A and B are shown apart, each in its own frame.
Chain A
Amino acid sequence: MTTVTTFISALGKYDFLQSALLTAIMVGLMSGIIGSFIILRGMSLMGDAISHAVLPGVAIAYMLGINILIGASVFGILAALLIGFVAAHSKIKTDTSIGVVFSAFYALGFILISMAESATNLHHILFGNILAVSDQDILTTAIVLAIVIIFVVAFYKELLITSFDETFARTYGLNVQLIHYALMLVLTLVTVSALQTVGIILVVAMLITPAATAFLWTDHLGKMLVLAATVGVLASIVGLYLSYTFNWASGPAIVIVAAAMFLLSFIVSPKQAFLRFRR
Chain B
Amino acid sequence: MLSIQDLTVAYDDTPVLTDVAVNFNAGKITGIIGPNGAGKSTMIKAALGLIKAKAGTVTFAGQPLKASQQKVAYVEQRKELDLTFPIAVRDVVTTGTYGKLGLFKSPGKAEKAASRDALAQVALTEFANRQIGNLSGGQLQRVFVARAIVQDAELIILDEPFVGIDLQSETAIMTILRAWRDAGKTIVVVHHDLNKVSAYFDELVILNHGIVAAGPTATVYNAQNIAAAFSSDLSAVLFTPQEVTS
Question: CB-nearest residue of chain B relative to A166?
Answer: B80
Residue pair A221, B76 in contact (C-beta under 8 Å) = no
A94 at the interface (CB under 8 A from B): no
Q: Which of A155, A160, A168, A224 has the most CB of B within 10 A?
A: A168
- Residues from chain B with a CB closer than 8 A to the CB of A155 are 103
B80 and A157: CB pair below 8 A?
no
User: Is B106 part of the binding interface, using a Cβ–Cβ cutoff of 8 Å?
Assistant: yes
- The answer to whether A121 has its CB under 8 Å from any CB of chain B is no
Q: Mark B46-74, 1 if CB is under 8 A from A, else 0.
A: 00111000000000000000000110111
A170–B20 Cα distance when bound, in Å, is 23
**Which residues, 85 to 100 on B, are CB-close (under 8 Å) to A?**
85-88, 91-92, 95, 98-99
Say whether, besides A154-B104, A165-B95, A167-B50, A173 and B87 are in contact (CB < 8 Å). no
| Residue A137 at the chain B interface, CB threshold 8 Å | no
Stretch from A46-54, A128-136, A212-220 that touches the partner: A212-220
The listed residue (B49, B82, B104, B106) touching A164 by CB distance below 8 A is: B82
Contact B87 A164 (CB under 8 A): yes
Q: Are A167 and B95 in contact (CB under 8 A)?
A: no
The answer to whether the Cβ of A277 comes within 8 Å of any Cβ in the partner chain is: no
- Distance A161 CA – B87 CA, assembled complex (angstroms): 10
Is the beta-carbon distance between B70 and A173 smaller than 8 angstroms? Answer: yes
A246 within 8 A of B: no
B98/A161 in contact, CB under 8 A: yes
Cβ of B131 under 8 Å from chain A: yes
Task: Determine which of B50, B98, B107, B131 lies in contact with A170 in the assembled complex, contact meaning CB atoms within 8 Å.
Answer: B50
Tell me whether chain A's interface is mostly helix, strand or loop, or mixed.
helix
Contact yes or no, A163 B85, CB < 8 A: yes
The residues of B that contact A224 with a CB separation of less than 8 Å are 86
Per-residue contact bits, chain A 116-135, to B (CB 8 Å; 1 contact, 0 not): 00000000000000000000
Of residues 75 through 131 on chain B, the ones whose CB sits less than 8 Å from some CB of chain A are 76, 80-82, 85-88, 91-92, 95, 98-99, 101, 103-104, 106-107, 131
Asked if A157 and B106 sit within 8 Å, CB to CB, the answer is: yes
Question: Are A168 and B76 in touch, CB under 8 angstroms?
Answer: yes
Chain A residue at smallest Cβ distance from B157: A171
Contact A160 B88 (CB under 8 A): no
| Neighbouring B residues of A221 by C-beta, 8 Å | 85-87, 91
Which chain B residues lie closer than 8 Å to A154 at the CB level? Answer: 104
Kindly identify which residue among A160, A164, A173 contacts B99, using a CB–CB cutoff of 8 Å: A173
List the B side residues contacting A172 at CB < 8 Å. Answer: 69-70, 72, 98-99, 151
Q: Is the Cβ of A220 less than 8 Å from the Cβ of B50?
A: no
- Which residues of chain B are near A164, meaning CB under 8 Å? 81-82, 85, 87, 92, 95
Contacts of A170 in B (CB 8 A): 49-50
Contact (Cβ within 8 A) B88 A157 = no
Distance in angstroms between the alpha carbons of A56 and B82 in the assembled complex: 35
Which of A40, A160, A223 makes the CB contact (< 8 A) with B95? A160
B11: shortest Cβ distance to chain A, in Å?
12
Q: Which residue of B lies closest to A173 (CB)?
A: B69
- B104 surroundings in chain A (CB, below 8 A): 154
Would A168 and B95 be within 8 Å (CB), given that A156-B106, A158-B103 are in contact? yes
A174 to B69, CA, bound (A): 10
Task: Say how far A128's CB is from chain B's closest CB, in angstroms.
Answer: 30
Flag if A40 contacts B85 (CB, 8 Å): yes
List the B side residues contacting A173 at CB < 8 Å: 69-70, 99
| Contacting residues, chain A, for B80 (C-beta < 8 A) | 167
A215-250 residues at the B interface, CB under 8 angstroms: 215, 218-221, 223-224
How would residues 31 to 42 of chain A score, 1 for a CB under 8 Å from any chain B CB and 0 otherwise? 000000000101
Q: Which listed residue (B73, B74, B85, B101) contacts A157, Cβ 8 A?
A: B101
CB closest chain-B residue, reference A40 = B85
1/0 contact string of B201-245 vs chain A (CB within 8 Å): 000000000000000000000000000000000000000000000
Distance, CA A169 to CA B50, complexed state (A): 11
Q: Give the CA-CA distance A203 to B123 in the complex, in Å.
A: 46
Residues of A within 8 A of B107 (CB): 157
Cα A164 to Cα B106 in complex, Å, equals: 17
Q: How far is the CB of A272 from chain B (nearest CB, A)?
A: 12
A-B contacts, 13 listed (Cβ < 8 Å): A157-B107, A158-B103, A160-B95, A164-B87, A164-B92, A164-B95, A167-B74, A170-B49, A215-B86, A218-B86, A219-B131, A220-B87, A221-B87
Q: Which residues of A contact B (CB under 8 A)?
A: 40, 42, 154-158, 160-161, 163-165, 167-174, 215, 218-221, 223-224
Closest 8 CB pairs of A and B: A172-B99, A219-B131, A173-B69, A171-B74, A219-B86, A164-B85, A221-B86, A224-B86
